[in-house]
Structures are given as structure tokens and as C-alpha cells.
Amino acid sequence: MRHFSYTRAETVSEAVAALASDPQAQILAGGTNLVDLMKYDVAKPGSIIDINKLPLKQIDELPNGGLRIGALVSNTTVAYDPRVQERYPLLSSAILAGASPQLRNAATTGGNLLQRTRCYYFYDPSTPCNKREPGSGCSAIGGINRIHAILGASEDCIATHPSDMCVALAALSAVVEVEGPQGKRDIPFADFHRLPGDRPESDNTLAQGEMVVAVRLEGNHFAGHHTYLKLRDRLSYAFALVSVAAAMEVSDGKIVELRVALGGVAHKPWRDMLAETEFAGQPAEEVTFRHIAQRLLAGAKGQGQNDFKIPLAEKVIVRALKQAASGRPQVQSVKAIQ
């Protein structure tokens, strides 16, 4: 049996102080990922900081028409909040594409950002895994790698980030508010998760002792032209093989502004902002969408069992862009691709 201490934080500063005082400490939010990892003996926290009493459960209006979502707002509450549904339907849709109603009721906004990869070897302590045990090797390279990365992988890790919600947050250029021993700071969503490089044990850019307190949505809502399209092995209750959050502004049949983020293909939600800018002004039609897909996948590399993801991703990107352009987003309760 492994022993750990348990603290229920009453304030954010109390949680930050407890987190900063012990490098082995871990935050407990909904517990839907952390508790599983502890049962598998993958996570071995020396102390647990339960943050469920913190006042981080509100969705607040921002003066610019945006929304500030507290780190403890459940995935269900975000998905069904009328303001999110009206202003940021892409986010609502992506959340509803993930997990199950029971899990979404328990899972929190902060926990969703910080959930760990679903690489089979990461969950099996009897196998080498650089993310779980730095320097031990990567069993997925040359092993079972059907669900693994085709973009941004390294020779030390080819894992993917499993979140659906984060793919929409990436496309919407959300901002992550964090608080730590040095105070508060904002992290643009594109900089929050990292590629594995030679430090795959580190999923994100949080400093020691920092925690997520909120996620801010500002700027373009893309309520008119958006979609979240997710392909998976089962029609529901499965992680993405490839997913696409697509959003655009269209005028006179031309793309004015474009956002495309990919899930299930890299260690972080994958977005190429330069490519998005370059396609502004192009006709919003299939031939352009195919060029966008090819551009996004230019550096894609399979690992053997996951080679199928490259042509699959091209098809999903094109289909998602068609859905977004036509203003007919994928309805998550309809399992067939629309």
C-alpha cells in the first residue's frame, strides 16, 4: 500500500502553497483520471491537494463579450451553459463528443487540460515508458502504436494528448489563467501543452507549484461556421483517432479567417497559425480545403500501425471544413458523419 497525505484546500493560495511545498504533490479535481492512474500505480503522489472547495465553479461574463470558465466548472456545465452554446458552440460540441455523461459530470475544466495520455504503455508499469519513467525507453516505438502521433513526435515519445475539449480551446485561441508561488500569469493555449522532445515526462508548461484557475475565451466566437468532427474506433465513449475543430469566417464565398486544430495526432492539440493566415482570401471550397489538409499534414509521419491516420486525417479535415463552411456542424448525438 502507498501512503499519501490528503489536504482539502480552502483557498487558491492555500492550494498553491501546498503544491509548491512538495514536488510529489498532485491536485485532485474530478478525479476521473488521477484516481485511475493511482490505482494502476502510475501516479504516486506524496500528497493530494483536494481543490473541490475552491471558488472556481463559475462561468463569468467578460466585458468584451467573452467568457471566463473557472477551473472547477464541470465539462457538463460548460457544454450546456446557454452562453457557451450560443457564443462558443464549437466548445460545447467538442465536450459532448468526449467520454460519457457520467464522466462529463465529474470531469472539470482544469482536469481536462491536465489529463494524461492514453498510451497503453504509460498505464502499464511493467513496460518501459519515458513519460512514466524518464530514460527507460519508449515501448510504443516499434510496438503497438495504432493510436499514436503522426505529427510532432520525438524519438523519446510518440504519445498523443487525448482531450476533445482542448482541441476546440486551441482553435478558439483560449487563454489559460494560472496561479503559482510567483503570482498569476496567462498562458496562450498554443503554449500550454508541449511537444515531447527529450522531456516527454512533461506534458505542459506549468511551473512547479502552479495550478490552473480558469480558462478565458475572447475574440471571435465563430458561431456561424464551425464544427467538431471526431473519428474513433467506437461510435461513442472512445478517444479520438483523429479529430478536427474547424472554424471560419466566410464572406462572398471566400475565407476571411480560418482556424483548424487537430486532435488525436500529436502530443498537443495541433495548429498551424501561419498556414491559417495564408489561406485567408481563398475560395471556401473543396479544392482549397484539400490544400489546407495537405499543408497541415506536410510533416506527418506514421509509426507503422498508425500509418492509416495520415490519409484518414486528410479526409476528416476536408469534411470538417466543408461542414464549417456550409454552417452545418456535426451534431454529436448523430453518430453518422454529416
Ligand X SMILES: Cc1cc2nc3c(=O)[nH]c(=O)nc-3n(C[C@H](O)[C@H](O)[C@H](O)COP(=O)(O)OP(=O)(O)OC[C@H]3O[C@@H](n4cnc5c(N)ncnc54)[C@H](O)[C@@H]3O)c2cc1C
Residues that bind ligand X (CB under 6 A): 26-34, 71, 98-99, 103, 106-108, 110-112, 114-115, 162-165, 211-212, 239
Sole window of 51-59, 157-165, 245-253, 279-287 interacting with ligand SF4 (rule: CB under 6 A): 157-165
Residue 245, strand partner residues: 228, 261
Q: Kindly write out the interface string for residues 281-310 of this chain, putting x where it contacts ligand SF4 by CB under 6 A and - elsewhere.
A: ------------------------------
Please, which contacts does 235-239 make with residues 24 or more away whose CB atoms are closer than 8 Å?
235/335, 236/100, 236/335, 237/99, 237/100, 239/118, 239/147, 239/162, 239/264
Interaction partner, residue 112 (ligand X, ligand SF4, none; CB < 5-8 Å by kind): ligand X
73: cell is 466548472
Interaction of residue 266 with ligand SF4, rule CB under 6 A: no
Residue 262, strand partner residues: 244, 270
Residue 204 C-beta: closest distance to ligand SF4, Å: 15
If the CB atoms of residues 66 and 162 are measured against ligand X, the closer one turns out to be: 162
Residue 40 C-beta: closest distance to ligand X, Å: 12
- Name the strand (E) or helix (H) holding 16: helix 12-21
If the CB atoms of residues 17 and 144 are measured against ligand SF4, the closer one turns out to be: 144
Which member of 56, 94, 158, 240 binds ligand SF4 (CB under 6 A)? 158
Phi, psi of 212 (to 5 degrees): -80, 130
109: cell is 475544466
Buried b (16+ CB within 10 A) or exposed e, 266-276: bbbbbbbeeeb
Provide the pairing of β-strand 270-271 with 226-231: unpaired
Interaction of residue 118 with ligand SF4, rule CB under 6 A: no
Interaction of residue 117 with ligand SF4, rule CB under 6 A: yes
Which position's Cβ is nearest ligand X?
111
Interaction partner, residue 276 (ligand SF4, ligand X, none; CB < 5-8 Å by kind): none
The type of residue at 325 is A
If the CB atoms of residues 117 and 332 are measured against ligand SF4, the closer one turns out to be: 117
Interaction of residue 131 with ligand SF4, rule CB under 6 A: yes
Yes or no: say if 253 and 236 are a contact pair by the CB < 8 Å rule.
no
3-state SS of 228-285 is EEEECCCCCCCCCCEEEEEEEEEECCEEEEEEEEEECCCCCCEECHHHHHHCCCCECC
Interaction of residue 154 with ligand SF4, rule CB under 6 A: no
Residues that bind ligand SF4 (CB under 6 A): 117, 119, 121-122, 129-131, 138-140, 157-159, 200
